[in-house]
Structure 1
Amino acid sequence: MKKWTGGVLIIGLACILLVSYSFIQKQPQKQSTYEFFHPNEKITNLNSSIQTRDEKLQTSFRRPHLVNVDGLNYLFNSTHLPKEEEGKPFLAWGQMRLLLSRSDSLPETAQGIKEAAVAWKELKSEIDEKRASKFVHKDERNCSYSVSAVNSSTLFSTNGSVILEIPCGLVGDSSITIIAIPDGNQDGFGIEFVGSEGKDDPDPPVILQYNVVLPRDNFTKEPVIVQNAWTDGSGWGKEERCPNHGSPNNALVDGLVKCNVELTRSSMEESSKSKHLSANKSTNGSDLNDHNHVSSNFPFLDGSLFAATIWVGEEGFHATINGRHETSFTYREKLEPWLVSRIRMKGGLHIISALAKGLPVSEDLDMTMDLDDLKAPVIPNKSKRLVLLIGVFSSGNNFERRMALRRSWMKYEAVRAGVVAVRFFIGLHKNKQVNFELWREAQAYQDVQLMPFVDYYSLLTLKTIAICIMGTKILPAKYIMKTDDDAFVRVDEILASLKTKNPDGLLYGMVSLDSKPQRDKDNKWYISTEEWPHDSYPPWAHGPGYVISRDIAKFIVRGHHERNLKLFKLEDVAMGIWIEQFKKHVREVQYHNDERFHNAGCEPNYILAHYQNPRMVLCLWEKLQNEHKPDCCD
């Protein structure tokens, strides 16, 4: 009896184990990324390959955690954000908190958020004040096209320096012209483009320092122009000297040399003759004559009047002295023209006049007769996807550029009919007046999306993700395009080209298949081995304009929400890195290269032309309307 009972017990336990094992085997599998994006499609062998690739990704990329960033709570406090119609510029803003809380944040993220909180608090106070008064006084609009001063007495002076205030920063083609006479009682003088003081940074950044050492009669000092930049966090960068007797720097800035070859040749001749004169113990008279001859090519001389114009290009500052280009200086990281709030002149310099012109100024909305025609059209049926969402990168004080786009390619019929939507993505500015003018513009035209950070170059990647959020969650579109506010886009040709392409896994633009990271620390696009350890990048499309398909955009939004994708500060290369992950985890990618996307200028039969100022943008549109030809403008 006992043996029989023991046998029954053993058999019973075996049955329980068998049933438990079968139940475990039938547990539902966790939904894959591909299934999330394609819920109605049947998945066969893809799951196993995705799972294997996910395991590989986890070993190469450590998922970041969330951190608390100073200012973030204020920026995302719902009681501080406008509601209903006034809240439309904040649609993407409201979905970016997790992205800004990552422990692997981009450079300047914490600074950009902290400064944005201050800027938004000031702007909100300004908005409430103006709303209470019902109207804006015209004399309160102080973003001026130009500012000037005659002689040093009309310029603001402090600590031995002379200051020319710049009301709303600088933009492309802004220029500063100084007419002055060097004072030989001092060794030289300096001209500095200075940013504004931060709340916790009493020493403002120096976006450009232009120091001049004057030639001396006794050859104790060699005449030279020294350019550099400074920030509180990084100190002085690597100085650039002109003339430079070291290894020649053949790099071009906006197509211009960094140092005029005539200046270099003159300096080399002067050095050679100086040594020759010293060896032969020349008389004082001949020494002076020869010195005057060889130093005459240096643009600054003791007691001689000069006119110096420093103007803003796409890639850097350029100095023209007495009508001749002398030097160019590439923008350093974090130091961009829009940051400039004053010009500081110091040292041995008697100033005759100073003029800043081509400064950013917003259009007077009360005088804009075609405002209703330029306002973003209402999307007729939000349940139906747009064909294309175009996200445009812009800076707060680029008022004129945005107006040029509204009066040109944003008037294509597909845009006005709501088939294509165009939105500007703009970070806050450190200047209170710029932010208020930007706010009025956003309310008037309904095509601006404000970003919860200050517009530093290294944070552009966050705008790329915001465009993907807009095109997948807010204004759903079949395709998403990114472009810049100095680009002309032939929307009709983009749409015609997309009709011929498979709408899945698409990257369309000027595709770079073989490029390497820049390892020069002073280069704007410098990437350290910690940021990208590999010798080359995956395929990517140049930033002035490219199109991705909706499935890629959804993959990017989901990947960053779950913090499974890497943040990378070069926004166009970042897109290539994310698409490489899409290729590994979802499906093959169609890389469609089209050389009609011009990333540096314009060529006939273009689809996209870059580096077009407002005048050229309007000219291109006029040519298309009148001549029906995609020809370029000079």
Structure 2
Amino acid sequence: MGDSDTGSGANGTKRELVQSIFPQKKILFHSWFQLLLLFCVLALGLCYTLSSRPLSLWQSFPLQEQYQWFLNQNSRVNAPAYRIHPKNKVILNKTTEPSTVRSTSLQYHQAYPRNYHFLMDNTEVCKNKIPFLVLMVPVEPKNVAARDAIRQTWGKENIVQGEVVLTLFMLGVSREDDVEKLKQENLQHHDLIQSDFTDSYLNLTIKTMVIMDWLSTHCPAAAYAMKIDSDMFLNVDNLVIMLKQPGIPKTNYLTGMLMWNRPVIRSKNSKWYVPEELYPEPEYPTYTLGMGYVFSNDLPEKYVEMSKSVKPFNIEDAYIGMCMKKLGLALTAPPTPSQFKAYNYAYNRCEFSKVITYILGSSKQLLDYWTDLKKPGPPCP
């Protein structure tokens, strides 16, 4: 009994000890739980504050829209910015640039043209007759006046100096588009190419690379092509004459108004501002001014391939220059560099008969100048 009593007494003491400990643990548990809950609430509030402040600062940053499309994923209207190939699992790599996506087989970004899809592509235009020269004109969907002026002037002739010349217009999309009117316009003229990227000035690099993609996939047999802006005067006769000169390369050829040692503009108030995140070098490589440059038609496919690894920035002509540099190719000065001109200060019929390009102020100017240039009689006294 003594043992049992002793046992009973020992067990009773343990029971009392356990009963005294559990209430203390219960109180401590509630205290720690409340403290942890308070910490979580404070942490959540701090995260919200930190995440909202940079956004508001970014939105108020001067000209942030100048390059926002390179840093977000909204270049395509109502569609994801990146198209994932079903056979290639795409992963974000922490070592890549913010605007770059890496797959198991290639690296590409928002300016890689095969992320986008053609809505109108007129696949037959290069099959009926293989063109010697394709003129690709980037233009806003709503700018019908510019397209009509070109159709009545330098885009009118299909045979120039005995060669087939094709003029096509490259469009993106916007929320203001009248889709039916664009369809009717294309049914009438068969010269619109439209892709599903957002059509804006800041997306000209995308637009240019989509032009290159179309040329490489839909018109690879053409000898030469030209990217030319919609506000340009173009003397197609002089251009074809130039391209038919002996010694003009048939491959790896890019020419126009060459720009050397051009500094990158860092002023946030400039239309051509490029931040260091997009292009860190102080100068651009040699490039051709974007108003109008000519290239052999083997280059578009090379540009598309090179664009997988060349980080995009919002100066499209310099971007092509960077692709040339990465390809290890040199640009070529035109046989007569003075034929590629930028601005004219006054119309002169003799002068316009000798040049290849001029930037104009309006579609009406193009119509007026062209009408005068083509009137009977020699243009020069």
Fold-level match, TM-score > 0.5?
A: yes
Equivalence for 1:463: 207
Report Cα offsets for 1:343-400 as digits up to 9, x if no partner. xxxxxxxxxxxxxxxxxxxxxxxxxxxxxxxxx9x75855x74211111011111111
Check 1:458–1:70 CA distance in 2 against 1; reply closer, same or farther (3 A cut): closer
Question: With structure 2 as the length reference, what TM-score do the two structures score?
Answer: 0.62
Q: CA deviation at 1:627?
A: 4.1
Check 1:429–1:75 CA distance in 2 against 1; reply closer, same or farther (3 A cut): farther
Check 1:550–1:516 CA distance in 2 against 1; reply closer, same or farther (3 A cut): same
- Equivalent runs, 1:91-106 vs 2, <5 Å: 104-105=109-110
- Equivalent runs, 1:140-539 vs 2, <5 Å: 379=125, 381-382=127-128, 385-414=130-159, 419-432=164-177, 434-476=178-220, 477-500=222-245, 501-539=248-286
Q: CA deviation at 1:464?
A: 1.1
Q: CA deviation at 1:589?
A: 4.2
C-alpha separation between the residues in 2 aligned to 1:628 and 1:419?
A: 26
Equivalence for 2:332: 590
Check 1:430–1:70 CA distance in 2 against 1; reply closer, same or farther (3 A cut): closer
Of 71, 74, 88, the residue aligned with 2:78 is 71
- Equivalent runs, 1:2-151 vs 2, <5 Å: 71-72=78-79, 104-105=109-110
Of 305, 311, 329, the residue aligned with 1:558 is 305
Report Cα offsets for 1:67-119 as digits up to 9, x if no partner. 8988336999xxxxxxxxxxxxxxxxxxxxx9xx977436xx9xxx9xx9xxx
Report Cα offsets for 1:537-556 as digits up to 9, x if no partner. 11111111110112322211
C-alpha separation between the residues in 2 aligned to 1:557 and 1:436?
A: 31
2:325 is paired with a residue whose SS is helix
Check 1:74–1:506 CA distance in 2 against 1; reply closer, same or farther (3 A cut): closer
Q: Which stretches in structure 2 are left out of the alignment for 5+ residues? A: 1-69, 84-102
The structure with more radius of gyration: 2
Check 1:470–1:415 CA distance in 2 against 1; reply closer, same or farther (3 A cut): farther
C-alpha separation between the residues in 2 aligned to 1:516 and 1:535?
A: 6
Alignment check: 8 A CA contact 1:391 1:483 kept: yes
Check 1:570–1:629 CA distance in 2 against 1; reply closer, same or farther (3 A cut): farther
Alignment check: 8 A CA contact 2:161 2:237 kept: no
Equivalence for 2:95: none
Report Cα offsets for 1:475-527 as digits up to 9, x if no partner. 22211200111112111111110112122221211111121111110111001
Equivalence for 1:611: 360
C-alpha separation between the residues in 2 aligned to 1:413 and 1:474?
A: 18
Check 1:629–1:515 CA distance in 2 against 1; reply closer, same or farther (3 A cut): farther
Equivalence for 2:342: 599
2:263 is paired with a residue whose SS is coil
C-alpha separation between the residues in 1 aligned to 2:275 and 2:80?
A: 32
Residue identity opposite 2:368 in structure 1: C
Alignment check: 8 A CA contact 2:226 2:293 kept: yes
Q: CA deviation at 1:580?
A: 1.1
Check 1:524–1:565 CA distance in 2 against 1; reply closer, same or farther (3 A cut): same
Alignment check: 8 A CA contact 2:231 2:359 kept: yes
C-alpha separation between the residues in 2 aligned to 1:415 and 1:381?
A: 19
Check 1:103–1:557 CA distance in 2 against 1; reply closer, same or farther (3 A cut): closer
Check 1:557–1:567 CA distance in 2 against 1; reply closer, same or farther (3 A cut): same
Question: With structure 1 as the length reference, what TM-score do the two structures score?
Answer: 0.39
Higher strand share goes to which structure? 1
C-alpha separation between the residues in 2 aligned to 1:596 and 1:416?
A: 18
Report Cα offsets for 1:451-480 as digits up to 9, x if no partner. 202211111111211222222220222112
Answer yes or no: is 1:548 the counterpart of 2:291: no
- Identity score, percent: 25
Residue identity opposite 2:355 in structure 1: Y
Q: CA deviation at 1:630?
A: 6.2
Check 1:533–1:379 CA distance in 2 against 1; reply closer, same or farther (3 A cut): closer
1:590 is paired with a residue whose SS is coil
C-alpha separation between the residues in 1 aligned to 2:82 and 2:275?
A: 31
Report Cα offsets for 1:553-583 as digits up to 9, x if no partner. 22112223xx123322111111111111122
1:581 is paired with a residue whose SS is helix
What is the RMSD of the two structures over their aligned residues, measured on CA atoms? Answer: 3.6
Alignment check: 8 A CA contact 1:428 1:435 kept: no
2:159 is paired with a residue whose SS is helix
Of 364, 370, 379, the residue aligned with 1:621 is 370
C-alpha separation between the residues in 1 aligned to 2:243 and 2:138?
A: 22
C-alpha separation between the residues in 2 aligned to 1:589 and 1:416?
A: 26
Alignment check: 8 A CA contact 2:146 2:231 kept: yes
Tell me whether 423-432 or 386-395 shows the greater mean CA deviation: 423-432
Alignment check: 8 A CA contact 1:428 1:455 kept: yes
Check 1:580–1:463 CA distance in 2 against 1; reply closer, same or farther (3 A cut): same
C-alpha separation between the residues in 1 aligned to 2:365 and 2:126?
A: 32
Higher helix share goes to which structure? 2
Alignment check: 8 A CA contact 1:479 1:547 kept: yes
1:493 is paired with a residue whose SS is helix
Residue identity opposite 1:71 in structure 2: N
Q: CA deviation at 1:415?
A: 6.3
Alignment check: 8 A CA contact 1:620 1:630 kept: no
Residue identity opposite 2:286 in structure 1: P
2:202 is paired with a residue whose SS is helix
C-alpha separation between the residues in 1 aligned to 2:77 and 2:125?
A: 37
Alignment check: 8 A CA contact 1:415 1:421 kept: no
Equivalence for 1:577: 322
Q: CA deviation at 1:623?
A: 2.1
